[in-house]
Amino acid sequence: MYIKSGSQVFFLLISLSVVVVQSNPVRLNFSLKYDTHHRPLRFFWYPTLDNQVPAFLEGGPSPNAKAAEHQIKFYLYTLENPTTPEEIEIGKEETILSSYFVRGAPLKLVAHGFSSNYLEGPAPAMKNAYFKANLTCNFIAIDWKPLAAAPWYDTAAAATKIVGDRTALLVLYLHSLGHVQLEDVHFSGHSLGAHIGGFMGKAIGTGRVGRITGLDPALPLFGDVDDSKRLAPSDAAFVDVIHTAGGTMLHGGLAFISPRGHADFYPNGGEDQPGCGYDAFGSCSHCRSYLYMAESILSAPGKFPCCSCSSWDKYLNGNCQCQTFAVMGEYASRNARGSFFLRTGSRYPYSLSF
């Protein structure tokens, strides 16, 4: 297990209920779980919006695809029902025809991550931004809370394929009825939700979906697998990624620091975000990815300007010629390719000009 503090990582062998980090005691009100051979199971502390939860990397139950069908919900919001969702069900066209679904409008799909649900995290932040901007779209929040529940991170990670496949069925169903064109589909997923987008894109077919945005894609259990089992550039015509709490597991990273898309954006280097202070578990930085995305929806297309560069250090030292510019977020060009760096403010509004 690790706790991250700036650039320092503390590896802890938990045998007591109190751990000292720097000079402050942190009470871990939690008892270790063991496997059948009485070996401690590997876990880390996953940051939620207001707390931390244990996230076990092994030992959890395997998700059942058939049973999971009833644990995955799709909730529709439009300009006509911005606060009261309507559930859309695959194979039941009446749930579409009786809803406020706008035939032919762009489809925005958003998925939460581990130990979360559709009422918190990226979905409400982005939904509110789209409708405040008066953008006509069909916004569908994907709720897979029962499969994403703590403490079994390994179960949730395995379930991302099930949720992705199920989401693909929804998209193909809407497409078969003429309600949406595949190039008008834009999926955004936070943390584990980013890999749901990857599996959705794979199930629909290489490059057929218009766009997938990975919001700080989860690293644990996805770092050492091939691209068929995680978000990859081939999953959509355009895959863009916003990195905000990246790094290796050895260095306390919650998410990928390595590129995962056609265009990868690294605000503040893609790791510790300004204004997050002593972000021991990475909660603040991890959530900044979707807060930046939400702000970009409400901003003019020129906000969050970025410079193409090979590394953050070169960017900081002024060693990038910045011959290629892009913008991060909703208005990112689908022709953008490579790694892009930028600074942000420490509080809202985060976007800064060059």
As annotated, the active-site residues are 191, 216, 286
Cα gap 227→289, rounded to integer Å: 22
Contact 226, 148 (CB under 8 A): no
